[in-house]
A and B are shown apart, each in its own frame.
Chain A
């Protein structure tokens, strides 16, 4: 049995407290009126920082483009811009919260999918890691509830993360009427959106509850592998449910930030990201527990296999990223390519930095077979991969919510710390709930002797 050390407990609580304080500061320091925005931007300029200048230059550029298109309205060049920045800055703490909440939630979801695949494929190598996976998926419950709360707050206009939720956009008499979004209102409306989210979360958490229950029961009574067989059937069924709901979730929770834009492989793209993050987390927690003297039955062949998955799925993620990018880049259709134009112009560093972190780094570090067995190599690659996928989520969420007003500052880091603390606390507390070896699993002996 694993016991949660008081040090780790304290560490996670400190993370939560520090994160909560930083996030509160972020929310409080968000401007509440146009005057404050003007003041903030003026003080930036007064400091003579290049940032303010370049922003001002961009404003000009934006306006000339509008003028050329003959779309410029008189009020556009005045307060309209400050109002725009105000909305972005008001969105910023919410978006930071959203990115971090989703990132840790997707880790738990990725591990859940990985866990179900182990059962459905009757994998013989992995049962020694089942308790680690079950513990990570424990975060699905608090993480899912937090996601649902944030989405509900958006639905009730407590924040403006989702542009399409603005009722004026679908009102034909309104000046802001948007025919494209109005055309999608059958799918994109708050009620149906939240209902879907509830169904997805109930399905995932429900499967998680059953799978963990079966796994514990199998330990108590392994005659005839009754519980194992149940788990097999439920896992196979869950995977079908999962791949549909995960796709729809990715459209709803991420792609709809840019409601005009769509990509048909977006579901797969998000899946690859959450899958590799989940597997990386399994490897990191396994290595941590081994370093503390637990999981003595896990050998370096298990770590090797996890690292192979980290390597392989990182490449798979890159393949999907590139497939999405190249088609849109090549066809250069304005309504599609705008997605990448904003990212390359306003998010150059995170956009290309993420490719280095998620592709080139794991490619070079984890290519060699021997390195996949060296714990500190796997840990180093794992931390970079996790940071890279945080930036990936950041890149997917931020451009549509805060635009060029993005910045990785106290608010963003605090949001990550808050959820990291919560994640560690929930996961390691869940680890104490059951023996670390799923001894009833029919493949447990094969897994213990797994040798590559």
Chain B
């Protein structure tokens, strides 16, 4: 089934922010906003749920820390105990200060890399993926708001949207299988 969406283009992020607030005030449903750069506060204005990326990052950091501890314990204490700097104590805890830089680095490494990969997966991004932006100008200097037309009256909607500072309004027939 085909559904209608309206593409509204803006040339300024402040205008866009105000428009998003007005559109939401009118209880129209915003499907997506495409911007050339991250617009500060846009997620809150759109009413998106707060990101849980930070929580995953914390968990990845804990994994990294655990990996570092187990790895250094295996390498330096259990498998092949080594005498470095006259400290052959054969005890993890007594040699621990020497492993702190490794623990720190691996915590950061795991947290950062896995967080980025999670972000890609969550945003459905992968190599050679085709761009989803409906209009190439959103990669340059235009902001595009995609509003779900639903069962609303298109004339009222377009006149309302043009009053929000839009520079261009297009009504698009969207195929469901396009998703």
Contacts and interface: CB of A to CB of B under 8 A. Distances in A.
A368 B101 CA distance: 23
B98 interface: yes
A361 interface: no
Interface stretch (A45-53, A115-123, A322-330): A322-330
A368 B57 CA distance: 11
B90 interface: no
B85 A326 contact: no
Contacts of A367: 58
A330 B97 CA distance: 8
A367 B55 CA distance: 11
Size class of the B contact interface (CB-based, 8 Å): 10 to 19
A27 to B, nearest CB: 40
A451 B87 CA distance: 52
B100 A331 contact: no
Interface string B81-118: 00001110000000001101100000000000000000
B85 A331 contact: yes
Say whether chain B's binding surface is mostly helix, strand, loop, or mixed: helix
A326 B98 contact: yes
A332 B100 CA distance: 17
A369 interface: yes
Contact of A332 (B54, B58, B85, B101): B85
A133 B54 CA distance: 32
Interface in A53-89: none
A369 B54 contact: yes
A329 B97 contact: yes
Contacts of B86: 332
Given A322-B97, A326-B97, A367-B58, 12 more contacts: A322-B100, A326-B100, A326-B101, A329-B97, A330-B85, A330-B87, A330-B98, A331-B85, A332-B85, A332-B86, A368-B54, A451-B41
Interface of A: 322, 325-326, 329-332, 367-369, 451
Interface of B: 41, 54, 58, 85-87, 97-98, 100-101
20 contacts: A322-B97, A322-B100, A325-B97, A326-B97, A326-B98, A326-B100, A326-B101, A329-B97, A330-B85, A330-B87, A330-B97, A330-B98, A331-B85, A332-B85, A332-B86, A332-B87, A367-B58, A368-B54, A369-B54, A451-B41
